[in-house]
Structure 1
Amino acid sequence: MSVLEMKVPSPGESITEVEIATWLVKDGDYVEKDQPIAEVDSDKATLELPAEQSGVITLKAEEGDVVQVGQVVCLIDMDAAKPEGAAAPAAEAPKQEEAPKAAEPAKQEAPKPVAQPAAAAQTYATGAPSPAAKKILDEKGIDAGQVLGSGRDGRITKTDAELTAVPALGGNSLSATGSRSTTTTKLSVLRRKLAARLVSVKNETAMLTTFNEVDMSEIFRIRKQYKDEFAQKHGVGLGFMSFFTKAVTRALQMYPDVNASIDGDFKINYDFCDISIAVSGPKGLMVPVLRNAENMTFRAVEANIKNLADRVRDGKITVDEMTGGTFTVTNGGVFGSMLSTPIINPPQSAILGMHNIIQRPVAIDGQVVIRPMMYVAMSYDHRIIDGRESVGFLVAVKEGIDNPVEILMGGDERKALEL
């Protein structure tokens, strides 16, 4: 009998464990070689696990189990014969007759209110509780207006308060109503790893954030004027990310310390700009990387971002596509964020946060005008980036966004857009 032990392959460098997200086959199924048999979650991506040989499979791990790289997760009996046809579906179990419902207990009638005597002429004391009565009513959560006083001129006495019953639930009760259930679920490997990394960033870096604002008027004009022609020729939309990516790569080349990282006692500078783009996927935030973004055209940036974002949302992104990166751009504006302090994506030293665009009054040449404005934020590691570099970098980004034609497009917008 030839039995193959299938072990968890290494999804990528530095990944030591994965979680069995979904078994795509059942225990005892016959599988073909290279047939996907499971989806596993690492701290960076969801990957498919293909069968290494054909045969009958025996599962050795459950969905939700966290297993180590190299651990056996299933056995494949390679000597087992392939079944000639699909097994007949199991006969449907007869429906059980619904058990007769237990007779509901008779509802207890609420006590009928006792008829009250006709009210006497009211005075300032009518319905007012004595200090002792007020204390008791407050402790019971009863409003004095609900109590009929038996004291002189209708005043509420201590005895009246003591004899007044606490209202049943559903009346003027202060108790919470509605469902109060709780649900406990295990964090995925991706979420646990992300949580650990976020804590380490706060503990191991000197993170600061600097802010500025950009005027989106020119970009709005360019997109309105060329978006249809751009999409028709290139098959992809002209969005904001290409402008911000071009502005960021220009600023990184002007301020190389921002395009660097710390490794122990050493600083590593990069002569290329690999831009991580934060994308929200079904299993959390992913950061696929645009390699050598400094050499990309507007068309190339838009096409690559769309491809990577689609792969993230379809669960097809690979670890290699998210490894590396020298700087990150994240856009909280798509969720409505006006301002935030984005957290650094280690081992990078800085991140740019984009936000929503709001029509705001601004002063231009002594006149108040309405412009589409966006706040931008740059969080950075102060151990390696000084205030001068961080502020200068963000100002350089602002210059590119405020004046994209001259600074990002070389003065010729049609040529830059390859139209």
Structure 2
Amino acid sequence: MIEIKVPELAESITEGTVASWLKQPGDHVEKGEAIVELETDKVNIEVPADESGTLEEQLAGEGDTVQVGQVIARLSSGSAGGTAVATKTKTEAATEAAPAPAETKTEEVGEAKKVERREEHVASPGKGPIATPAARKLARERGIDLSAVQTNDPIGRINVHDVSNHNATPAPKPEAPKAPVAAPQPVASGKDEERIKMTRRRQTIASRLVEVQQTAAMLTTFNEIDMTAVMALRKRRQEKFIKDNDVKLGFMSFFTKAAVAALKRMPYLNAEIQGNEIVLKKYYDIGIAVSAPDGLVVPVVREADRKNFGEIEKDIIHLADKARNNKLGLSDLTGGTFTITNGGVFGSLLSTPILNGPQVAILGMHTIQLRPIAIDAETIENRPMMYVALSYDHRIVDGREAVTFLKHIKDMIEDPEQLLFEA
């Protein structure tokens, strides 16, 4: 048998959830073909087969939490199956020529081997409950009496999943005096309710956002930017930019370059707190918040300070496409030093972005809207304006630094030629 184990996920991730089984018992699996999809705190990972074979057993159900290194499935080796056929053929050939006593001995040996293999997997009635070897091993490690473990298996066999559940919750389940929470039931007002279990990623997002608000001294400062100059520049250069880079020139590359320039002037916004120390980052890996089907993710544009506008736009498009198709890897999501989020794509006029811990600052962009702006004491013009917000951790970033940082962003976007002179 070939054991399929939960692979190493990441340094900080020790468990995942079985999102879906891509193969069912009895299905043939080729080497390298995905068997199961695991959902982790950050990304979904497909677990492939190391060898070809037939899926014999699933040891965890969809929605179950599994640990790194845990056996979650077993395959019968494809090569082993071929050997069995070859052996059978030889035996049949020998049977035709060999005397009857030898044939009887061959059958007895074969039957003994079958019984031996069966005993390896299932205990006899006199030896205790029926359980898989992995379940027995886990029960011994956790000091669990297998006779007390409940199972839903049709033949009463106990597997790893049953032992894990027994360890997590007591076997006896006293009936609650309150009404059972089974299927959604109409409330007294006559309205219907639907109860949906949160995905692992949504649970992680929720816990981390709450953690940030509880541990960081978060404040937000606001400003507004006249987008006239950037919009005019994009209009003039768009055709040539597409020809040279095969992507459109968007606003995000301008804000990314402006953010890098501002971070170099205000290094405490490109930092994090570790214990009683401040770690100033001398590199600029900018996270770009993307709305994915399972929740907000923040893939990272690496070394944004060393990339031109075309490279940044390509990176953002590539990462956003991977996010929407659940193809992001852990390397795409870790190590960011500063984050930019654009609620304007959904029509947000103004909002307060929450820090993406352990980072200490995040820039929020918003929708562009025509507003009457006083050009001087006598002139008012309709200008395309954008509100921007900077949320920051007041533990290490002072108000002066935060306001100055946002002012730098405003100045460079309103006069984008300044970006050409930034190192």
Q: Aligning the two structures, in what range does the TM-score lie when normalised by the shorter sequence? A: 0.7 to 0.9
CA distance in 2 between counterparts of 1:47 and 1:237 reads: 31
Q: What does residue 414 of structure 2 align with?
A: 402
Q: Does 1:226 align with 2:227?
A: no
In structure 1, give the amino acid aligned to 2:408. A
Partner of 1:80: 81
The letter for the 2-side match of 1:71 is Q
Between the aligned partners of 2:43 and 2:223, the Cα distance in structure 1 is 33
How many residues get paired? 317
Select the structure that is richer in helix. 2
Normalising by structure 1, we get a TM-score of 0.73
Matched, 1:60 2:72: no
Deviation string for 1:328-369 (max 9, x for gaps)?
A: 000001111111110000110000000000000111132111
Are 2:217 and 1:206 equivalent residues in the alignment?
Answer: yes
Q: Distance in 2 between matches of 1:82 and 1:10?
A: 32
For 1:314 and 1:389, the matched residues in 2 are separated by 38
Which of the residues 390, 395, 400 maps onto 1:378?
Answer: 390
Q: In the alignment, which residue of structure 2 is the partner of 1:346? A: 357
* Normalised TM-score (structure 2): 0.72
Larger radius of gyration: 1
SS where residue 80 of structure 1 aligns?
helix
1:235 to 221, 246, 256: 246
Structure 1: how far apart are the matches of 2:374 and 2:292? 39
Q: C-alpha distance in 1, partners of 2:36/2:388?
A: 41
* Structure 2: runs of 5+ lacking an equivalent: 86-187
Once residues 250 and 332 of structure 1 are traced to their aligned partners in structure 2, the CA distance between those partners, rounded to angstroms, is 22
| Partner in structure 2 of residue 262 of structure 1 | 273
Distance 2:215 2:68 in 1: 28
- The answer on 1:24 being equivalent to 2:22 is yes
Partners of 1:14 and 1:223 in 2: CA distance = 42
Q: Find the counterpart in structure 2 of residue 185 from structure 1.
A: 196
Looking at structure 1, the residues matched to 29 and 416 of structure 2 have their Cα atoms a distance apart, in angstroms, of: 56
What one-letter code is carried by the residue in structure 2 that aligns with 1:357? I
The answer to whether the aligner puts 1:45 opposite 2:56 as a matched pair is no
1:11-410 paired onto structure 2 within 5 Å: 11-57=9-55, 58-78=57-77, 79-81=80-82, 180-366=191-377, 367-405=379-417, 407-410=418-421
How many Å apart are 1:81 and its aligned residue?
4.6
Aligned mates of 1:232, 1:264 — CA distance in 2: 49
Quick check: 1:338–1:356 contact (8 Å CA) kept in 2? yes
Partners in 2 of 1:320 and 1:296 — Cα distance?
A: 19
- Indicate the percent of aligned positions where both proteins have the same amino acid: 49
**Separation (CA, whole Å) in 2 of partners of 1:54 and 1:375:** 57
C-alpha displacement at 1:27, in angstroms?
A: 1.5
Q: How far off is 1:233 after superposition?
A: 2.1
Q: Which runs of 5+ in 1 are unaligned?
A: 85-174, 412-419
Structure 1 residues 82 and 344, CA gap change in structure 2 (3 angstroms): farther
Structure 1 segments, 4+ long, off by >3 Å, are: 80-84
Q: Distance in 1 between matches of 2:258 and 2:413?
A: 7
2:10 counterpart of 1:9: no
Tell me by how many angstroms 1:82 deviates: 11
The letter of the residue matching 2:61 is E
Q: Deviations over 1:264-305 (max 9, x none)?
A: 111100111110000111111111101110111011110111
